[in-house]
Each structure stands twice: as structure tokens, then as C-alpha cells.
Amino acid sequence: MLLPLWDKTGKMGTVIAMKETQTASLDGILVIDKPAGMTSHDVIATLRRKYRQKKFGHTGTLDPDASGVLVILAGKAAKCLQFLPDTDKEYIAELALGSETDTDDASGTVVRTAPVNRDFSLDQELKKFEGPLHQQVPTTSAKKIAGRKLMDYQRKGQEVPAVYTDVTIYDTEVLDEDDLRFRVSCSSGTYIRALCRDLARATGNCGHMKSLRRTRAGGFTLEQAEPLDADCHTIHPIERVLETIPAADSAQVDLSDIRNGRHIRLNTPDDRVLVLDSDGHALAVYDRDHGDVFACARGLW
């Protein structure tokens, strides 16, 4: 298998060949173009087999029917998950009218049908959803209430409680009026299948999400995403997903203290800092403990 190397500036270096039987730690970020029909966990399982290591995680689940950008944290990068901000996302979706499903997408069971009304402007209707939105979560989702996932209520034939979440739709754009295909830019946590359900209802229809492709997530775009079955994958540096955390002044830090997880003193207004080594590689995240004393929140070595 082939793995790209990165130099200390974060630029991609040469590509070297690795024997399939060779064991090596893969540390960094992969951006995968998830195929439709696979769960996010399926993607992780595939990468574990391909690279023969267990430490993989992802920054946000993508529904099985959906495709597109899935940001994967490998090796040491998996330690960064708790520090990643809820980043905005972008999708291309297609709406189907005439039937509503119990999952709000094409994989669900039809629960309601109605004649199709096309006497509306998709652009005008989409604009009504822009801005802050109090969105009802799909009944088939991992969202929890009273410690139970909503999908667990549904699977047992129990009444699913109505759960709402506050999200923001930043921008929408109609890509094909006839096919009801559109682009949406939104905050993390937005359910596009719920948006399709509510959009259909707002036009006097019932409907569901026909297809979904995520085009941006975690600061990465679809152009950077690579096929899951590629012979090799680009490894982005860990620092790429930690760039929102201010870097500590290395002149104030004894790196031996960092590597041993000791408390340090810093003169900074920031309550959370990223400590880098002399080559610019992430060593640890530190949080203010009291005064100018900082405690290690997570070592990244």
C-alpha cells in the first residue's frame, strides 16, 4: 500500500510503498468520499482492515443512504476528537414528493401519500427556512431523550417523543427546479431529511429526501475527498483540525514538562492552548487550571 508523507511544514512530501504485511502507525486525517449504502462505522471497519490498525474515528456520522465528505481521524489524531469545534456543513439534496416515510428518506417505510402539488417556487420556499430553525428531529435518529435513542422507541413499536433541536440554515441554492435538487449550507446538527420533510409539508405536499451528498465538513471539501477503495489516501496533519486553538508561546514552555504531562505556567489570555514542538507538530492541549497555571487536557504524542 502507498502512504503519503508530510514534512514539518505540513506540506505533502514523497510517497513511499509499504508492504501489506508491514505494521505502521497511521497518524493524521483522511478525507473519505463515503459511498452510499455504507454506514460511517462500515467505513471505519474498512480502513481498519486496510491499514491494519484499530485507532480510527470520525468527526460526524453520515447516514447510510448519504454519500460525500467523511472526515476520519487516524492514530494520534483520534485523540483530538473532543477538541474539534462543531463545524458548518454543506450538502446537495434531492426532494421526492408524493410520499412521506418513517425515516424521512428513501430507505424508510411509506407512512403517508398524497397527490403532488408543483404549484410553488422551490427557491422561494427554501428561502423561508434560512436563518435560525427549531427543527423536529427525525423519529429514526440517534438523538437521545431520557437516555434512549429515538430509533429505539421506533424499533419497539412505541410512540416516539417529539424532540426538537436548534440549528441554522445559512444559505440555500436551487440546482435543478424540475428534479427538486438544491444545495444547503447549515450548522452542525442539522437534519437535511427533516428539512426535506418540512419543505414538502410547507408546499402542501408530503415528501422525503430522495438523495443526499455532503460536499463540505470539518473544513474539508468534496474536492479533497478520496474514494474509500483508493490504493492510498492523503494524510493531512493533525494540526489541520486543531488550528482554531491558539498556540502557546513555545519560549514559555519546557517541552519535557509537556511530554510528562506536568502543569505549566503561561502568560496568555486564552483558557485553552495548543502546545507545539520545535517542528510545529502538536504535542498536547492545555487548559487553564487557575491563575497562570495550565493543566494537560490531552497529550497528543
| Tens-digit pLDDT profile for residues 227-270 | 999 998 999 999 988 989 999 988 889 999 999 999 999 999 99
Determine the pLDDT at residue 85: 78
- Does the reported pTM lie above 0.75? yes
Domain 250-299 part of CATH 3.40.50.2300: no
Q: Which of 236, 225, 297, 271 is nearest to 79 (CA)?
A: 297
CATH number of the domain at 89-214, out of 3.40.50.1370, 3.30.2350.10, 3.40.720.10, 3.30.420.310?
A: 3.30.2350.10
The per-residue pLDDT for 235 is 94
Pick one of 3.40.980, 2.40.30, 2.30.30, 3.30.70 as the CATH number of 2-83+219-241. 3.30.70
Mean pLDDT of the chain: 87
Domain ranges for the chain: 2-83+219-241, 89-214, 250-299
Beta strands in 75-163 (DSSP E): 89-97, 99-101, 110-113, 131-136, 144-145, 148-149
Write out the catalytic residue numbers. Answer: 63
**pLDDT beneath 70, residues of the chain:** 1-24, 141-161
Q: What pLDDT shows up at residue 132?
A: 97
